[in-house]
Structure 1
Amino acid sequence: MKLAVISFTGSGRALAEKLESQLSHEVELYDKSSFGGELRLNMSKLFVDYDGIVFVSAVGIAVRYIAPHVKDKTEDPAVVVLDDLGRYSISLLSGHIGGGNDLAGEVGESIGAEVVVTTASDGRGIDSIDEFAKRYDLHIESMEDAKTLTALMVENRPISLRASSLYKLKYGNISEKDHEGVICVDYKTDTEFDLPHCILRPKVIYLGIGCRRGKSFEELQRYIDDTLSEQHISMHSVAAIGSIDIKCDEEGLLKLAESLECEFRLFSKAELNSVETEQNEFVMSKVGANSVAEASAAIMGDEIIMKKKARDGMTLAISRRIENG
C-alpha cells in the first residue's frame, strides 16, 4: 500500500516520521509547505497517486481537504485521521474496499492510539457486503444492491447465502426459510431472484485461446464477449487467459488480459501436449502442439465447461475451478 502522510504541526510531523519508520507500507511525507505551499490545490493528485492518505490533524481539516475529491467507495483511497497528540486513529473514508478500517488499526497500533471505526457493520461485529467481497476477491455486480443487502444485515434481517461453504459470512441470521434478501456467489449470469439480492462474481473461469498472428484486441474481445454471453458466464469471473508461449508478445492477447483484469498464462509445447485432446494435425504443423485453446483451459481449470470452438482464425475453450464445499 502506498501512503501519503500529511501533517501541519511540529508534533504532527514527529508522529508522521514515526509512522514512516514503523509502518510496513511505502510512506511519503507531506506538510503545509509541500507543493510550494499549495498542498490543498494538489489533493487531487494525491487521491490518484496513493492507495491511502493519513492526516495527522483535526478531522475538520481532513474533511475540508478531501471533500472536493471524494467520488465513490470503489475508487477513493483509504483516508485515516490521527490527531497530532497521537490519541485517536480514525477511519474516515473508504473503510472496507479501500482498506481504511485496517489502515486505522495499523496506525493506531504503531502509535499506541485508540482506533475509531464508525462503519455500522463493524460496530455490530458483522460483515458488510464489500468487506466480504474483498476478503474472497469477489466482484460486486452492483454497489446499490450491496448497500441494500448490508442495510438488511445491519437491521439483523434474515438473509440467504447461496454459495459454496468455502465462503464464510460473518452474520448470525443466515436462513434458507423466510429470508428477506439473497447474497449469491456465482459465475453464471442467468440466475434470477424475486427478493432483494446482491450477486458476487468469483474468479473461477479460465479461457484457453489460440489465434492467428496479428488478431486485433477488438476482434478477440468481440469473440470473448459473444461467447461468454452465449454461455451465461460473467466476464468478471475470468481469472486468467492462457495460450502457447510463442504468443507472449501477441498484442491483442496482452490487451485482452488487461481489459479483463486477469492473468495471462503461457504454456510450452510440452505442457500442452501432455493434455489428452483430439488430434489436430494443422495446429501441430503450425506451432508444434496438438492443441492450444483446449489444452490451455484444461491446465488452468478443474473442469472443461466449453470445448474448443473456432471463429475467424480464433479458437476458444473454457474451464472452471471447482469450489468444493
Structure 2
Amino acid sequence: MKTEKWAIVTLSKDGMVLANRLAKHLDDRECQIYTKEKYANETTKIITTDITTFMGSIIGEYQIICCIMATGIVVRAIAPHLAHKSSDPGILVMDTNGEFVISLLSGHLGGANDAARLVAKRLSAQAVITTGTDVKGTMAVDVLAQKIHCTIDNFTDAKDVTALILNGDPIALINQENCDLDAVVLPQNIKTVVDLTTINQYSGAIITTLDTQKTDLPIPSVKLVPKKLVLGVGCRRDTPGERIIQAIQETLAALNLNIKGIKSLATIGLKADEPGIIEACTFFAAKKVIIPNEMVQMVQSRFDASDFVFKTTGLYAVSEPCGFVASGFGKCLLEKQKLGGITLSVWRDEN
C-alpha cells in the first residue's frame, strides 16, 4: 500500500513553526512543506509564484493538502483548479496557533474528514467538519460506496439519495452484486432489501449493480458499481490503444455492463509491455495483470485452441485462460471474441 502524500503549505513564520510540528507528528505519511523563500529551510520547498498558481501546480500531486493560513486565501487559491469531488484532493485549513483544523474540501471521497480527525488527535486540536451526514451521525452515499469498494455511477443521483438519507427517510439497499457489508454499520434508515415487492415502502434506493440498463424503480435511486469485471485481452503487436479501448467499450455496451466496473485487464508476459494494453489500463483505471505461461498452460485445455496463437506465443489460448485465472476462476460473462486482431473475454471476479 502506497504511503499517503501530504503537502503542508504556509505563508508565514508562525505557520512554519506549526508546519514543522505537524510534519513531525505525521511521520507515517509522506509530508512536504512549502513556504516562501524567507521562511524556508533545507527540508522545505519554496513557493516561487502567487498562491493561486502554486496551488494549481500541486493539486494533482497530493492526496491531502493542509494549508496553514486564512480560509479565504485558500478558497480563492484552489477555486480555479477544482474539477470534481471524485478526483479533487482533500483540502484542510489550519489557523497558525494550531487550535482548529477545518475539513474544507473533499471530506468524504478525498479523505479530508478523516485527515482532519487525524491531525486533531495528534496535535490536540479541534476538527471542524461540516458535512451534513457526519454532523447527524449518518452516512452519505459516497461514503458507503467507499466502504464497499464501489464507484458511484451518477453523482447527481448520489446527491439526491444522500439528501433523503440526511432527511431520515427510509432507504432500500439492494445488494445485487453481493458486496461485503459485514464491516459496514448502516444508519437505521437504510435497510437491506431482497423482496422488491416492498419497494414502495421506501423513499429511495441504493443498488449495487454492474448493469447499465435504466432501473424501473418507482423511487429515486443510485447505482454503486463494484470493481468486479476482469477482461482477458490478447492483441497483435502494436495494436493502437484507441482500438483496444473502443473494442472494450463496444463489448461491454452490448452486454449492458458498466465500464466503471472494470477491475483489471489480464494478458500474458509477452504482452506485458504492449503500449495499447497499457493505454487501455490507464483509460479504464484498471490494473494490468500478467498471467505466467505456466498458469495459462494449466487451464488452456478448457478453451478453444488456436494453432496460430501457439506459433506466435507458445500457448494455445490467451484471452480466456488469462481472464479465467485473473478473475480467481470466476464466472465467464462472454467467451472469447475476435475483433480484428484483438481478442477479448469478459469475466466476473467472484472473490
With the length of structure 2 as denominator, give the TM-score of the two structures. Answer: 0.86
Q: Within 5 Å, which residues of 2 pair with 1:176-195?
A: 176=193, 177=198, 178-192=201-215, 193-195=217-219
Which stretch shows the higher mean deviation, 209-218 or 103-112?
209-218
For 1:127, which of 139, 142, 155 is the aligned residue? 139
| Residue in 2 that maps onto 1:4 | 7
C-alpha distance after superposition, 1:84-132 (max 9, x if no partner): 2221121111101111101111211221112121110011222111112
Letter aligned with residue 299 of structure 1: V
- Superposed, which structure 2 residues align to 1:1-325 within 5 Å? 1-23=4-26, 24-33=28-37, 34-36=46-48, 38-163=50-175, 164=178, 166-167=180-181, 168=184, 170-175=186-191, 176=193, 177=198, 178-192=201-215, 193-275=217-299, 276-282=301-307, 283-301=309-327, 302-322=330-350
Contact 2:179 2:208 in 1 (8 A): no
CA contact (8 A) 1:121 1:128 kept: yes
CA 1:305 to 1:169, structure 2 compared with 1: closer, same or farther past 3 Å? Answer: farther
- Structure 2: runs of 5 or more not aligned: 38-45
Alpha-carbon distance change, 308 to 111 in structure 1, aligned in 2, over 3 angstroms: same
Partner Cα distance (2:80, 2:249) in 1: 37
Q: What's the CA shift string for 1:114-173, capped at 9, x where partnerless?
A: 212111001122211111222233111111111101000000111111112613362211
Q: Which amino acid aligns with 1:316?
A: L
Q: In the alignment, is the contact (CA less than 8 A) between 1:97 and 1:134 conserved in 2?
A: yes
For 1:307, the aligned partner's letter is E
**Structure 1: distance between partners of 2:78 and 2:239:** 44
Shift of 1:238: 0.8
Change (3 A) 1:114 1:226: same
Q: In structure 2, the residue corresponding to 1:274 is in which secondary structure?
A: helix
Deviates more, 1:208-217 or 1:116-125: 208-217
Q: Which runs of 5+ in 1 are unaligned?
A: none
Are the aligned partners of 1:308 and 1:316 in contact in 2 as well (CA < 8 Å)?
yes
Work out whether residues 2 and 25 of structure 1, in 8 Å CA contact, stay in contact via their aligned partners in 2.
Answer: yes
Q: CA RMSD in A?
A: 2.0
* Residues 300 and 41 of structure 1: CA distance in aligned 2, closer, same or farther (over 3 Å): closer
Contact 2:148 2:179 (8 Å CA) reproduced: no
Report percent identity of matched pairs.
29
Normalised TM-score (structure 1)? 0.92
